[in-house]
Structure 1
Amino acid sequence: MNRYLLVLGILLSSSAFADSTRFRANDPFLFCHDGLKAPDPCWKPLPPYTGNFWLNPECNRPNPYSERYWTIDEEESFTDYLRICPQAKDSGEWDSKGGQADTTPFVH
């Protein structure tokens, strides 16, 4: 009985774990700071990287007259950004001597 309660407790507490994203190798610092790794994306994060963003006026959102539609990756990554990044109290700065944030410990 205790074993079942332990398993149930773990399953119910899963919301205590950090949210994940399939973008930027699930690196929340890099994802919230740099956003989607794509040339000229339809959205970009803005400082202090805790949920502020910029929408590209060349895309159909916010410009309803544009013929450039958001890609599936742009839609999904923007939803992830709105879900994950506002949870940060402060974004901080990258201070590793091991290299840039997008190349440490591998390119992502």
Structure 2
Amino acid sequence: MRLSWLLLLAVQAADTYETLPYRQNDPFVFCTQGHAQQRARMCWQPLPPFTGQWAPTGVCRPENTYGRPWTARDRHALQLYLRVCPGAGQSGRWQGHGRPEQTPYRH
């Protein structure tokens, strides 16, 4: 009975992990900084405490009449953020050396 319960938990845990095609699959950087390395290219940005709240950046339409349209990448990254980042709970502070998006390499 215990073995089957543990196996069920392991399967459920495996199902909750999702590969992030952004930021080299680094959930800390993705959830705290968004999907693009250049903020000037992002239509949305994550808001602290990084649990699924976000704000438009004003780079894209409709917030900016002259802005660029949202791309499929922008929409996909936002959907992924809304799905993945609330599960992280309240994000802690970066404790590594250097900046998180530069460690161990730029991503």
- TM-score range, shorter-chain basis? 0.7 to 0.9
Counterpart residue type for residue 104 of structure 1: T
The 5-angstrom pairing of residues 23-102 of structure 1 reads 23-37=22-36, 38-40=38-40, 41-61=42-62, 63=63, 68-97=68-97, 99-102=98-101
Q: CA deviation at 1:100?
A: 1.1
**Whole-angstrom distance in 1 between the partners of 2:57 and 2:39:** 12
Between Structure 1 and Structure 2, which shows a larger proportion of helix residues?
2
Q: Deviations over 1:75-95 (max 9, x none)?
A: 111111011001111111101
Match of 1:105 in 2: 104
**Whole-angstrom distance in 2 between the partners of 1:88 and 1:39:** 22
Deviates further, 20-29 or 70-79: 70-79
Q: CA deviation at 1:39?
A: 4.1
**Whole-angstrom distance in 2 between the partners of 1:42 and 1:31:** 14
- Structure 2's unaligned 5+ residue stretches are 1-7
Q: Taking structure 1 as the reference length, what is the TM-score of the superposition? A: 0.75
Counterpart residue type for residue 57 of structure 2: N
Counterpart residue type for residue 69 of structure 2: Y
Question: Deviating runs (4+, > 6 A) in structure 1?
Answer: none
Specify whether residues 107 and 67 from structure 1 end up closer, same or farther in structure 2 by C-alpha distance, changes over 3 A only. Answer: closer
**Whole-angstrom distance in 1 between the partners of 2:55 and 2:17:** 24
